[in-house]
Structure 1
């Protein structure tokens, strides 16, 4: 028999993620075991790994959302809208809504500190960035309306977006006012897209 709450799919996944995030932020990523998370969430360790193949993904659980946003920016853009404009709208939309992927969501500082303190999480972030770059490049290569160099655009966009995020995290952890950091974050994204427009597309 499954333990309490092991069924339910998305609800089980959400509960595991919530418990894991709370424990990681309270105690640090490396100080919490998957067995502890499973026990706190009322599931087995096997169930945890069924939903999250890697321990790191218990905290970095927005990768699927990021992939879908990139794919949608390419596939679902309106006729006459080029890829760079679509990516810009998505990126700035995340900032304006303070989405978790924007880097400026309220309460993000404990998350940033937890990631920065764990070499395993930092390494996983880099792997995710590489996966996102590959995803975007593949989407661009399949898009008959895109005439630029998809590999270069994907590389520059993901690297640039990551650079903006890292600087924003550094400033927030340094105690700068969140509203000022968010305004500068948006301005730096605008500069990123201006540079991409002038140099890649």
Structure 2
């Protein structure tokens, strides 16, 4: 399987940012180091998913999980390899294909990258929170997709746009915002507050 030009550009972009992050670390430009390092790691993760075929594996697992869950809950659904499934709606059948953007791999990559370079956690905590965050993001995406199926199953194909572009995305991103608050924003606020109280804020 050949490497696409987009993947090559992503790898080049990642390498360039890693180089900048090394310079920023040496110069003690901590915010620059955090931003460039996180983005570089995220880009490298996404490129590695595509190069190894891990993205197809995850999308296939998601499609099978949703099809099986929908059937168990009374919405007849059939898995279509590698990353799609069909399910019943009021007028017949609808097909749902899971693409890279809908797989949650981008959101998982962003979260893990921000955690890996986050200075407020120990190495053990970073690994633990990265695992928890990735798992919860994956589950939230499954809930998003099942919500779309449930709405289309009741209201038909005319509800696809509202279910997918509005309700599904709203549910998913609200969850992601809450997760980011818990894992990144809240501890940062607490860290700054404690330093101010201790008179160690620089």
**TM-score, normalisation: structure 1:** 0.33
User: Which structure is higher in RCO with an 8 Å CA cutoff and minimum separation 6?
Assistant: 1
Q: TM-score, normalised by structure 2?
A: 0.33
Structure with the higher strand share, 1 or 2: 2
Highest CA radius of gyration, 1 or 2? Answer: 2
